[in-house]
Amino acid sequence: MNFTLDHTIEIIERTPSVLRYLLQGLDEEWTHNNEGGESWSPYDVVGHLIHGDRQHWMPRLNKILEHGDTEAFEPFDRFAQLTESKGKTLNNLLDEFEALRLANIKTLRRMNLTEKQFSLIGLHPSIGRVSLKNLLATWAAHDLNHIMQIVRVIAKQYSDHVGPWGENLSILKTKV
C-alpha cells in the first residue's frame, strides 16, 4: 500500500469510536487489569493515546514544518498517563480522547499538506532523522498497535478459563 494522508486519517479518525465501542460500559475488571508487571491496562492505554495526541503527533509535525532537522523533538514521556489519568473515569478519558483527536484531525486537514512536505525531515531525540511521512504513518500504526494491545489484554483476562482451547488462541500466547 502506498502512503497517503487520506489513508492515515481513515485509521486515526476511527480509533476513538473503536475504543469507545470496545470499552465503554465494560466492568473495570476488563478495563483496569493488565498482563502483569508494569504492563498497561486498557485504561492506561487510552491515557497514553491522549498524551500522544496532546504532546506527540501534532507538536512533532509542526516542529518538522517549522524547524526541519535543526531542532530535535521533545522527548516523549511514555508513562505520563499514569499520573495524568489519575482521578478520571474511563468514560472521561474516552471523551477527552475523542475531542482531542477530532480537533487534531481537523487541524491536520486544514494544513493541506503536500507531497513535497511529506519528505521533510525532523530529528527524533533517540532514533534520529525521520520524515513527516514516517511520523504520519507511525501515528496510524501506533493506534492499531494499541488497539491490538487492548484486545490482547482483555482476552488474557480469561486465559486461565478457556481450558484446552487456549492452545488454539494465538492471542493468549503473545508475550507482553
Among the residues of 111-131, which ranges form H helices? 115-118
- CA separation for the pair 87, 102 (Å, rounded): 24
> For the chain, what are the domain ranges?
5-173
* CA proximity to 120, closest of 128, 111, 129: 129
CATH 3.30.470.20 fits 5-173, yes or no: no
Length of the chain: 176
**Tens of pLDDT along the chain (176 residues)?**
999 999 999 999 999 999 999 999 999 999 999 998 889 999 999 999 999 999 999 999 999 999 999 999 998 888 889 888 999 999 999 999 999 999 999 999 999 999 999 999 999 999 999 999 999 999 999 999 999 999 999 999 999 999 999 999 999 987 76
Residue 124 CB contacts under 8 Å (≥ 6 apart), including other chains = 72, 73, 130
- CA separation for the pair 134, 121 (Å, rounded): 9
The sign of the dihedral angle between the CA atoms of 141, 145, 148, 154 is: negative
In sequence order, the β-bridge partners of residue 131 are 121
pLDDT the model gives residue 176: 66
**Could you tell me the pTM of the whole model?**
0.95
